Structure 1
């Protein structure tokens, strides 16, 4: 029997009505997608699960405690020999006032979903994954 593909990271799209919380990545030379718009998330720590990883990263990067019950969509993607998870959560618009920006990235912004999807400096794979959710792509079981 084949070994399962290891999971190594997760991202979380935070939807506040028609807007999305995005993080402008640092512009450090050599950083993948330096200066691009990103979503909260990152690498797995220890033996945490995919959703646990995404929620922890969201708290570290934006100071937000997102409930797992706010997560409405999840999908695993194979990339570079690993599984990367992508989650979508719906939150009230007032959540933006609760953001406490961490030390990763240049700044955060609330931008329209349409703007993020069309932005030339948004990470393309995350644009595609968000587009998949919006187009009704089936989600994976928890």
Structure 2
């Protein structure tokens, strides 16, 4: 979950064969490469997908979700709203947008367990420093 101020960067998944939740609203991130830590993965994927550089210390939350395809890691990073100007869509997925957490959770095309993780995180008040 990548926050810029009070809003989040959201990707739209494409319809490639084999991709889970095709066409749905997604958080930046993706599959780990060999011997890559979950933190290294989300930092690399965020740079590839949005051209946004985050540092390990920017990761203020981590959670693991056990799903049908195995464990998935979720992180939150809060950046200042001004950093939005640095975003450069990397072409993975069908596009990107900015949404509030409430809008994501209410969106009919949000990935259900992503909404649940975001909602639980937001209710905790762990809103970072962005």
2:65 to 52, 56, 77: 77
Tell me the TM-score normalized by structure 2: 0.88
Which segments of 5 or more consecutive residues in structure 2 lack a partner in the other structure?
none
- State the alpha-carbon separation in 1 of the partners of residues 84 and 69 from structure 2: 35
1:86 counterpart SS class = strand
- State the alpha-carbon separation in 2 of the partners of residues 75 and 119 from structure 1: 22
Deviations 1:44-67 (A, max 9, x none): 101011111111111111111111
Q: Aligned residue for 2:26?
A: 38
Q: Are the aligned partners of 1:96 and 1:110 in contact in 2 as well (CA < 8 Å)?
A: no
Provide the aligned length of Structure 1 versus Structure 2: 126
Greater gyration radius: 1
Answer yes or no: is 1:112 the counterpart of 2:78.
no
Query: CA shift at 1:27, angstroms?
Result: 3.2
Tell me the TM-score normalized by structure 1: 0.81
Which segments of 5 or more consecutive residues in structure 1 lack a partner in the other structure?
1-12
RMSD over equivalenced CA pairs, Å: 1.8
1:101 to 59, 81, 89: 89
Q: Are the aligned partners of 1:26 and 1:105 in contact in 2 as well (CA < 8 Å)?
A: yes
- State the alpha-carbon separation in 1 of the partners of residues 54 and 74 from structure 2: 15
Q: Are the aligned partners of 1:71 and 1:87 in contact in 2 as well (CA < 8 Å)?
A: yes
- State the alpha-carbon separation in 2 of the partners of residues 129 and 41 from structure 1: 15
Deviations 1:69-89 (A, max 9, x none): 111111112222622111011
Within 5 Å, which residues of 2 pair with 1:1-142?
13-28=1-16, 31-80=19-68, 82-136=70-124
